[in-house]
């Protein structure tokens, strides 16, 4: 894989996710509970945001030749969360695809518009730093796979839940 192939793929996945969010539209629908259990689309978006922020920060570390070590103990995992404000999503101690309740709680009192703004900035940071990384840095750090894990695989998981919810509320109104 190379950046010339990966960047358009990433953008296509991003566009699909944004189109779905635009279909949902109204802010009150973004905050309605019940999309996944008691969670809202806003909660899913907060999860996407923190996963994107996680990989954006790791990319910046790589760009600046800083080291990142996955958390291999519960103490290290908690220290990572305290220091960064989000989980160590690459730690073997956490379930990769599970929504983190601490993340959704952290963003409970933050408005949808603010979460969207932060999420857009995190995505833009990912693209910007990726463009600066050398091909060797990308290959040596498995960058394409890691970005996919923390961006469009998150979009796909959230999209499945949002589409399921949209179908359920459409069938209830019929």
CATH of the domain at 61: 1.20.120.450
Domain carrying residue 107: 3-172
Mean pLDDT over 90-117 rounds to 91
Taking the C-alpha atoms of 146, 152, 158 and 162 in order, what is their torsion angle to the nearest 10 degrees?
Answer: 180
Q: What is the pLDDT of residues 140-161, one digit of tens each?
A: 999 999 999 999 999 999 999 9
Contacts of 166 (CB under 8 A, 6+ apart): 23, 24
Banded model confidence at residue 26, pLDDT cuts 50, 70, 90:
low
Banded model confidence at residue 25, pLDDT cuts 50, 70, 90:
confident
Question: Which pTM does this prediction carry?
Answer: 0.93
pLDDT of residue 172: 76
C-alpha to C-alpha distance for 102 and 98, rounded to whole angstroms: 12
The token pair that represents 86 in the structure block = 């989000």
Taking the C-alpha atoms of 111, 113, 114 and 119 in order, what is their torsion angle to the nearest 10 degrees?
Answer: 120
Mean pLDDT over 26-32 rounds to 77
Mean pLDDT over 88-97 rounds to 92
Banded model confidence at residue 28, pLDDT cuts 50, 70, 90:
low
Banded model confidence at residue 59, pLDDT cuts 50, 70, 90:
very high
Q: At residue 11, does pLDDT exceed 90?
A: yes
Mean pLDDT over 8-19 rounds to 96
pLDDT of residue 151: 97
Q: At residue 173, does pLDDT exceed 80?
A: no
C-alpha to C-alpha distance for 19 and 26, rounded to whole angstroms: 13
Q: How far is the CA of 85 from the CAs of 45, 53, 81, 161, in angstroms?
A: 16, 10, 5, 25
Tell which wins on pLDDT, 111 or 29: 111
φ/ψ (deg, to 5) at 87: -70, 160
What's 32-47 look like in SS3?
CCCCECCECHHHHHHH
Number of domains, the chain: 1
């Amino acid at each position: 894989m190379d950046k010339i192939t990966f960047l358009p793929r990433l953008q296509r996945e991003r566009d699909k996710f944004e189109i779905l969010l635009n279909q949902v539209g109204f802010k009150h629908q973004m905050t309605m509970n019940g999309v996944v259990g008691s969670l809202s689309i806003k909660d899913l978006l907060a999860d996407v945001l923190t996963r994107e922020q996680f990989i954006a920060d790791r990319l910046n570390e790589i760009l600046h030749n800083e080291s990142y070590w996955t958390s291999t103990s519960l103490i290290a995992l908690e220290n990572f969360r305290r220091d960064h404000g989000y989980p160590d999503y690459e730690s073997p101690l956490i379930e990769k695809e599970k929504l983190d309740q601490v993340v959704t709680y952290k963003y409970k009192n933050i408005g949808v518009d603010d979460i969207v703004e932060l999420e857009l900035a995190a995505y833009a940071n990912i693209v910007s730093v990726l463009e600066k990384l050398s091909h060797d840095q990308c290959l040596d750090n498995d960058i394409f796979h890691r970005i996919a894990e923390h961006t469009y695989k998150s979009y796909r998981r959230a999209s499945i839940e949002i589409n399921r919810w949209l179908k359920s509320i459409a069938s209830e109104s019929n």
